[in-house]
Amino acid sequence: MSVSVAEQPCYTLINVPLDSEQPSEMQLKEKFEKGEQKVKTEALKKLIYMILNGEKIGQGLMMYVIRFCLPTQDHLMKKLLLVFWEIVPKTSADGKLLHEMILVCDAYRKDLQHPNEFIRGSTLRFLCKLKEPELLEPLMPAIRTCLEHRHSYVRRNAVLAIFTIYRNFEFLIPDAPELIYNFLEAEQDASCKRNAFMMLLHVDQARALDFLSGCIDQVTTFGDILQLIIVELIYKVCHANPTERARFIRCVYNLLQSQSPAVRYEAAGTLITLSTAPTAIKAAAAAYIDLIVKESDNNVKLIVLDRLIALKQNASSEKVLQELVMDILRVLSAPDLEVRRKTLHLALDLVSSRNVEEMVMFLRKEISKSTNTGQEETGKYRQLLVRTLHTATIKFPDVASTIVPVLMEFLSDDNELAATDVLVFVREAIQRLPHLRAVVLNQLKDVFGTIRNAKIFRAAMWILGEYCDSKESIQQVMTLIRQSLGELPIVEDELRLAAGEQSEGSDAPKDVEMKSQVKQLVTADGTYATQSALMGSTQKSNGITEKPALRRFLLDGEFFVAAALGTTLTKLVLRYSKEDSKHTKEKANLFAAEAMFVIASVIHLGKSGLPKTAITEDDLDRLAVAIKLLSDMWPQATPIFLEQCRHSLDLMLEAKAIEDRQESSKDKNKNAIEADRTISFTQLAAQLAGGESGAGAENLFDLSMSQALGTAPKTQKFDFASSKLGKVIQLAGFSDPVYAEAYVNVNQYDIVLDVLVVNQTSDTLQNLTLELATLGDLKLVEKPTPITLAPHDFANIKANVKVASTENGVIFSTIAYDVRGSTSDRNCVYLQDIHIDIMDYIVPGHCNDTEFRQMWAEFEWENKVAVNTPITGLREFLEHLTRVTNMKLLTPDAALGGECGFLAANFYAHSIFGEDALANVSIEKSNPADPDSVVTGHIRIRAKSQGMALSLGDKVNAAQKERPHKTSRKAEVTQ
Q: pLDDT tens digit string along 654-702?
A: 877 777 777 666 555 445 556 666 666 544 544 333 443 333 334 555 5
SS (H, E, C) 896-937: HCCCCCEEEEEEEEEECCCCEEEEEEEEEECCCCCCCCCEEE
Task: Give the contacts of 440 (CB within 8 A, at least 6 positions apart).
Answer: 404, 426, 429, 430
Judge whether 59 and 25 are in contact, CB under 8 Å: no
Segments in 351-414 forming alpha helices (H): 356-371, 378-395, 400-408
Q: How many residues does the chain have?
A: 975
First to last CA, the chain: 47
pLDDT band at 374, cuts 50/70/90? Answer: low
* Residue 783 or residue 475, greater confidence: 475
pTM for this prediction? 0.64
Task: Give the contacts of 511 (CB within 8 A, at least 6 positions apart).
Answer: 539
Average pLDDT estimate for 13-39 = 77
Instruction: Please report the pLDDT score of residue 699 as a whole number.
Output: 53
* Residue (of 6, 1, 2, 3) closest to 54 by Cα position: 6
pLDDT band at 741, cuts 50/70/90? Answer: very high
Judge whether 936 and 927 are in contact, CB under 8 Å: no
Q: CB burial class (10 A; 0-12, 13-18, 19+) of residue 583?
A: exposed
Span 462-490, pLDDT tens digits: 888 888 888 888 888 888 888 888 888 88
pLDDT band at 3, cuts 50/70/90? Answer: very low
Instruction: Please report the pLDDT score of residue 157 as a whole number.
Output: 92
Judge whether 176 and 203 are in contact, CB under 8 Å: yes
Span 277-313, pLDDT tens digits: 888 888 989 999 999 888 888 888 888 888 888 888 8
